[in-house]
Amino acid sequence: MHKGRITKEGIRIYSDADFEGMQAAGKLAAHILDSIAPLVAVGATTEEIDTAITDMVDDAGARSATIGYKGYQHASCISVNHVVCHGIPGPKVLKDGDILNVDVTVIVDGWFGDTSRMYVAGRLNRKAERLIQVTHDALMKGIEQVKPGNTFGDIGYAIQRYVEAHRMSVVRDFCGHGLGRVFHAPPNVLHYGRPGTGALLEEGMFFTIEPMVNLGRPETKVLADDWTAVTRDKSLSAQFEHSVGVTADGCEIFTLSPANMFHPTYA
């Protein structure tokens, strides 16, 4: 498979041994997301959750990929309600019914594990639950397309089709990305698209899929802090992210929840 090669689209082809590096990094990131579930509660602040994440990364002897990344200061992004992504942890107190995405990227022996999932403080209301379920299922529909011979457009199309069939919208302003021994590498993994378009998937490619789905319109804007992205129409937004590797006949998800806690109501 010409391991170590870079495709014409700039995508690195990793070796079988490299999968082990990604497994360790992905497992730690996913385990951290499992571990914070009890901390997400009415009255908690997002910085308390982030501090716990920082401590878990340290205790594991790993590093946070986000601390120091383009000036970002935290071990996680925590995006509450209409925040689409890149929410900065802070003194904001969670209230009953708030939904939040927590996104963690760790570096283990030089390998990057990047994953996010949704949580709820207190009671999950029906429309938020539906948004979260559709977003999670859309990610899994995209992952089902990951196999050699398919294209990145097949992934985006599967996600977009599923989301729009449920009368929700896919955010266009942010995308997934190649990763491995670096945080963000080619390609841009779009969560919308046309079947058969884009680069061909090949065994040994590592990348994230991380669809953001809005109950309202897809447009976003970035706040004055230069990080926090929100829905322009203030509608509720959700996101799930997995890091995956293309195998000979499909894909391996590096960031599956070790405790099977991928859904907020399972916490």
Which residues contact ligand MF3 (rule: CB under 6 A)?
66, 69-70, 72, 77, 86, 103, 105, 114, 208, 210, 227, 241
Q: Which of residues 72-101 bind Co ion (CB under 5 A)?
A: none
E-strand stretches of the chain: 63-64, 76-80, 83-85, 99-108, 111-120, 169-170, 176-178, 185-189, 206-209, 212-214, 220-222, 229-231, 237-239, 242-246, 251-253
Examine residue 203 and tell whether it contacts Co ion (CB under 5 A): no
C-beta of residue 257 within 8 angstroms of C-beta of residue 30: yes
Q: How far is CA 2 from the centre of its chain?
A: 29
- Residues in the chain, total: 267
Closest contact distance (angstroms) between CB of 231 and ligand MF3 is 18
Closest contact distance (angstroms) between CB of 66 and ligand MF3 is 3
Q: Which CB, 104 or 124, lies closer to ligand MF3?
A: 104
Show the CA angle centred on residue 205, arms to residues 140 and 171, nearest 5°. 45
Distance CA 192, CA 194 (A): 7
Examine residue 208 and tell whether it contacts Co ion (CB under 5 A): yes
| Among 50, 114, 154, 203, contact with Co ion (rule: CB under 5 A) | 114
215 Cβ contact partners less than 8 Å away, ≥ 6 residues apart? 127, 131, 168, 235, 236, 237
Closest contact distance (angstroms) between CB of 122 and ligand MF3 is 26
Examine residue 103 and tell whether it contacts Co ion (CB under 5 A): yes
Closest contact distance (angstroms) between CB of 167 and ligand MF3 is 26
Closest contact distance (angstroms) between CB of 241 and ligand MF3 is 5
Candidates 20-28, 55-63, 80-88, 102-110: pick the segment binding Co ion (CB under 5 A).
Answer: 102-110
